[in-house]
Chain A
Amino acid sequence: MQLAIFWIFSVLMLLFAGLVVVMRNPVASALSLVMCFICLAGLYFTLDAFFIGIIQILVYAGAVMVLFLFIIMLLNLKEEVARRLKLSAFFGGGLVLCGFVYAMVKAVINLPEVWQTAPKLETGGISDVARIGFKLFETYNMPLQIVGVILLVATIGVVFLSSRQLR
């Protein structure tokens, strides 16, 4: 059952990810990306990571992509004009892609069946919000605080680069 759901969601996810690139209309692309994120959340659900799945839907599919759609509509982007593909760029990109896929397939094929089995959790679930919170604020306290500095810098950047008149 779980395996079947996994296959359905991953195939759908790849399909929508492909549509993001292929679609000419930016709004259609953005909506495909939303669908892609929702399928990814489905994958998280099959792995019993309910909290991450819900966050994925709330933050990415909800907040971030709505922002994307707003900006696309605000800028009133029209359908993209079809460009002629340059043969050299096509081959170069294809070469890089082939190398990447080859390395990845080789890495996946060589993985042993079961390398490590994580110890069983005491409460039998990992989607506990408190658990994630403790992990973040205790074990990963320092990186978390640096992330705070990153957000501050990003805010300064946005204000500086977009304000109409600097005082």
Chain B
Amino acid sequence: MNPILLEAVLVCYAFLLLLVEAFNSRMPRRYFGWAAVVGTTVVFFMTFFVDSSKMNPEAGYYGFYAADTLAILFKRFILLVSVCVLIMAIEFAPVLVRYLPVEKPDAGSGEMYSLVLFACAGMMWMASAQNFVMIFVSVELVTITFYVMVAMMRGNRASLEAGIKFLILGAIATSLNVYGIAWIFGTLGTTELPEIGAILQSIDSSLFPSLLFGFGLIFAGISFKVAAFPFQFWVPDVYQGAPTPVTAFLSVGSKASAFVVLMRVLESMLSNSELSSKILFMLSLVAGVTILMGNLSAIPQTNFKRLLAYSSIAHAGYLLMGAASIVSGNSGPAIAYYLMAYLISNMLAFGVLLVVGKSTGSDELVHFNGLGKKSPWLATALTLAVLSLAGLPFTVGFFGKFFIFSSALQAQQFILVGIGILGIGCGFYYYLKVIRAMFWLPASKEQSISSPIEISKPYAVMLILLSISLIIFGVYPEPIFNLIP
């Protein structure tokens, strides 16, 4: 099967859902959510039957679209994230609808599902983008979909504010990105990444300043997507204001697809050794500052969603640390593994946060007080998730950090490793704060959960599967590692 069909099928399916929804106002919107889950799962299984040799070099997409193992791996990753996000969105629909001017009780939640599918298709295109034009277009598809999804709870001030902030900062990042692409195109005369790599191998050093300027601007655009240092200001407010499934999608999917783009751009830019040392220095600088900033600002947080936002900045820092030590040769697989680990643990954390937030009406940490007594299973799942995010041994997050740090050591990035260890120390403090709230702090009457939190069966299955894979891959990481090229 031609790999290009994956996104085509997904986009057509999303369009079909949208049409059926528009002409069937009676049908419960929940069904569309499950239809979207089924569609995404089918596309996920389709990825096992793709054959990149079917791609026709004569066809118009050739040169824009890569279907190598890296691309396919990340497509599967993004599809898994989307399945989790869709299940979360179905659970979240009653809360979403509360903030919408609706005629019928569940109207308005249907668009959410098709938007998730469109964003998923955009991220999959990002994973195989091989040309700056393609990168720009697919990144914009994802960003514009997120502008809408972040502001989706339009009766809620926080959500609207988050939407505006995201829109304005996103526009700045986009303009920087385009300007950088223009500089690189102006200097080298091409936008194709493999061709850029070939040209750079034998280039006059007088062009370095303009190339570095262009790359710096593109990197600024990417760092907005991964929530890294110069552009991390939007993260806490947007994460807090956005609907929880969208926040989960933003933190895992958006970050993962931006890292594929970064890896592809780096691969072509690093073909010149003189240029690469400068770029890697820039990357390690940004990585160090991002780790420190994310971890230190997470410490005083009292809102769990905000805490996860800062922790997401910190994780972007660790991932950039992997990217900065790309000379060691095995940091590519380390980044991929880290993203897998981040997917499992972050989705679990957001999954529990969603149901607790839904039943208590707030994401503050005090509302987690006494969760261990009320809903022991949810509390156990959240404990696993935060321990894995902190990087405790026997959880999947430990191996993620382990591989990143070992590749950084091989690349002799000793200062960066020192900063990283400091960051992990901070991490243990603020992640354990959540566990302390759940198991040790007594729940006061007015803010506590009166009865055990009820969750639907499919949602429980998703949480259980995530928890089990978190432990299994924490003890036995080979299956994931074998998938990575």
Q: Is A141 an interface residue (CB 8 A)?
A: yes
Count of inter-chain pairs, beta carbons less than 8 A: 105
Cα A119 to Cα B431 with chains together (Å) = 60
Q: Is B183 an interface residue (CB 8 A)?
A: yes
Cα A167 to Cα B22 with chains together (Å) = 9
Q: Is A150 an interface residue (CB 8 A)?
A: yes
Please indicate the chain A residues that have their CB under 8 angstroms from the CB of B141 in the complex.
146, 149-150, 153
**Could you give, for residues 96-123 of chain B, a 1 whenever the CB lies within 8 Å of some chain A CB and a 0 otherwise?**
0000111110011001001100100110
**Could you give, for residues 118-161 of chain A, a 1 whenever the CB lies within 8 Å of some chain B CB and a 0 otherwise?**
10000000000000000000111111001101101110110011
**Could you give, for residues 367-403 of chain B, a 1 whenever the CB lies within 8 Å of some chain A CB and a 0 otherwise?**
0000000000000000000000000000000000000
> Contacts A138-B60, A142-B134, A156-B148 hold; do A149 and B209 have CB atoms under 8 A apart?
no
Q: Is B145 an interface residue (CB 8 A)?
A: yes
Please indicate the chain A residues that have their CB under 8 angstroms from the CB of B152 in the complex.
160-161
Cα A160 to Cα B136 with chains together (Å) = 25
> Contacts A153-B118, A165-B103 hold; do A139 and B60 have CB atoms under 8 A apart?
yes
Task: Select B103's contact among A115, A138, A149, A166, beta carbons within 8 Å.
Answer: A166
Q: Is B125 an interface residue (CB 8 A)?
A: yes
> Contacts A112-B204, A141-B61 hold; do A157 and B147 have CB atoms under 8 A apart?
yes
Taking residues whose C-beta sits less than 8 angstroms from the other chain, chain B's interface range is: 35 or more
CB distance from B28 to the nearest CB of A (A): 14
Cα A102 to Cα B309 with chains together (Å) = 33
**Could you give, for residues 204-219 of chain B, a 1 whenever the CB lies within 8 Å of some chain A CB and a 0 otherwise?**
1011111011101000
Residues of A within 8 A of B (CB): 103-104, 106-112, 115-116, 118, 138-143, 146-147, 149-150, 152-154, 156-157, 160-161, 164-167
Extra 7 A-B pairs, beta carbons < 8 Å, given A142-B60, A161-B154, A167-B25: A108-B210, A110-B209, A115-B187, A143-B64, A143-B137, A149-B118, A167-B107
21 A-B pairs with CB atoms under 8 Å apart are: A103-B209, A112-B206, A115-B187, A141-B61, A142-B61, A142-B65, A150-B137, A150-B140, A150-B141, A150-B144, A152-B15, A152-B118, A153-B118, A154-B144, A156-B111, A156-B115, A161-B148, A165-B101, A166-B107, A167-B25, A167-B103
